[in-house]
Structure 1
């Protein structure tokens, strides 16, 4: 629906009012309808502002009516006064209908809260200059999970309960003043991008963030200018597989570094020029002259948080370029914890198997293969005329779950399946005897996984 149709519909709706206090409003709509005939993209802002002015005028009229009613109440009987109050209620409802008609939006109500975990963002946004706080960065990345980058062609309006919104982000839902303040600040935040040829452009992130007090609901919509950076992403984009890790970070620098490393997810290191880092992080200029200060205030705390709370493991930075004594560039080596842990688990369990030299070492272990929906128990490992190594599970003896003539591949499949089963158990069940959330290093987690492996065989 174009702006002309919106204005005309609202005008027709307003004609239903015959009260004198709406005369000015009808006249104003006539003027706006004339303006809309000359509608262009450039004058849209003026037309929209006119609509908002009308809304303000309506509210002023409503306030006038309320004040007038105080005097009227002294001179009219109760029935007349009740009719006046009823008229005010109808007027409020009409104002709400007019407002919804103006924006003509279809709201997707998120009855189950945030259900997607993945956020895809153009690397131009990941590498942009911005001054978002840690709370604002969490809001941005969590809201991006609402977008389906494959199916969505445009941005939608979303409505989510205040409780679900705050619970997911770790905010205090009872602090209404603080939450509204954050939403207001978020509407003013931008991502700033400068091209190599000197062009500069700033993008406002959201077109609207609305807090509904009565419904206890938050309405969300991204700014259309953000479409190239969040929709139809084919290459050169940052994929955050689990936004939950970002929500656990306590500093904005941990969030920024995490996203920048995820941008290089197909590699195992990324180089950072200190001048560029200082610019996009909006750090004090003193950090460019003192690597020690930059390391202690920004880099080291971010690495510690990422290693503690996320799926990445980062090594200490390596200085790769200096200008005299001044550090110009450093490198961060990183790996996916799951991949590294999987490799370590395989090596350790394979070593223990070689030590025992017996397939019974894996007996009663849980195993999670490509064809199973959840972990199943290993019942037996056998050979078929010394030709195939066979794996039997879940008391099914007439057919193996897996078989191969290659013993090395067979052992690898068993160990990897056991690792996947343990991962599943820790992610989907509460194992009180193993508090995995308090473990901070891969070695601690590996030791816990091996310990759990032995409990399965008892």
Structure 2
């Protein structure tokens, strides 16, 4: 068994021949169920890698193709320093993603999809990488305009967020923005629902959830994302918080031109 930590990276170049000035400005599009109903334990780096791979899907693709990339490209997109150590860590992340489970529940069909993220993960010592998304994700990532229930956002947004909780909350806010910033968008739920959506420890009290996860995630998003201005509200029954709302108060003053 090869220990990826001991691989010698003999090359440092971009194998992708596409003429793209900055791949960070790809759009990521995923079915709303993948944002609101999928349960998984990806960390921040793994979430960003998955967003990059999803961003490489073309709108008219009817199946998943092999994604050809490189350690050079991945470090550039993710804003990491290029080094043998960084490349080995990325290889470890890809290996972890290959083995991690994701569960997606379809309430209408009463069906639970259980799958892993990648069908193919190939890494060469020269830094070349090939990835292929598991075919079970086809209903959630392919031909999304046919059903209309999808969310789209810039890869540049998620790759600059450091916390996995900020990334997941960002996606929830984008999914809630049904009219593209013409009115205030709101994500609301019980404290337990927020713990589930964000993958927070189940043992957290609401106070711990707010102080350790919600408030830091909101602060990071407000600092780094130009068109999100989030505020947290809570409703109590007696002394117990029973409802949480996060509002995006940023409103567009002009019609969108990219629809």
- On the 8 A contact 2:101/2:115 being kept in 1, the answer is yes
Cα distance in 2 for residues equivalent to 1:311 and 1:270: 18
Is 1:332 paired with 2:242? Answer: no
Is 1:232 paired with 2:146? Answer: no
User: In 2 relative to 1, CA 281–269 (structure 1 residues): closer, same or farther, beyond 3 Å?
Assistant: closer
Q: Write 1 or 2 for the structure with the bigger share of strand.
A: 2
Cα distance in 2 for residues equivalent to 1:186 and 1:155: 17
Offset at residue 199 of structure 1 (A) = 4.3
Report the equivalent of 2:101. Answer: 190
**Alignment gaps of 5+ in structure 2:** 1-14
Report the equivalent of 1:434. Answer: none
- The 5-angstrom pairing of residues 40-439 of structure 1 reads 109-112=16-19, 114=23, 117-127=26-36, 128-149=38-59, 151-174=60-83, 175=85, 176-196=87-107, 199-214=111-126, 216-233=127-144, 234-240=147-153, 242-266=154-178, 268-287=185-204, 290-320=205-235, 322-336=236-250, 339=252
Offset at residue 226 of structure 1 (A) = 0.7
Q: Deviations over 1:142-172 (max 9, x none)?
A: 11110112x1111111212321121111234
Q: Write 1 or 2 for the structure with the bigger share of helix.
A: 1
Normalising by the residue count of structure 2, what TM-score does the alignment of the two structures yield?
A: 0.80
Cα distance in 2 for residues equivalent to 1:144 and 1:278: 25
User: In 2 relative to 1, CA 314–202 (structure 1 residues): closer, same or farther, beyond 3 Å?
Assistant: farther
User: In 2 relative to 1, CA 314–144 (structure 1 residues): closer, same or farther, beyond 3 Å?
Assistant: same
- On the 8 A contact 2:24/2:155 being kept in 1, the answer is no
**Alignment gaps of 5+ in structure 1:** 1-107, 344-369, 371-458
Offset at residue 134 of structure 1 (A) = 0.2
Cα distance in 1 for residues equivalent to 2:47 and 2:55: 13
Aligned residues: 230
Which structure has the greater CA radius of gyration? Answer: 1
- Which structure has the higher relative contact order (CA within 8 Å, separation 6+)? 2
CA RMSD of aligned residues (A): 2.5
- On the 8 A contact 1:110/1:158 being kept in 2, the answer is no
Q: Deviations over 1:250-269 (max 9, x none)?
A: 10000000000100122522
Cα distance in 1 for residues equivalent to 2:139 and 2:111: 17
- On the 8 A contact 2:222/2:230 being kept in 1, the answer is no
Normalising by the residue count of structure 1, what TM-score does the alignment of the two structures yield?
A: 0.47
Offset at residue 291 of structure 1 (A) = 2.2
Q: Deviations over 1:287-338 (max 9, x none)?
A: 2xx3221111011111111111113323321113x3432212111110447x
Q: Deviations over 1:271-297 (max 9, x none)?
A: 12211222233322332xx32211110
**3-state SS of paired residue (1:140):** helix
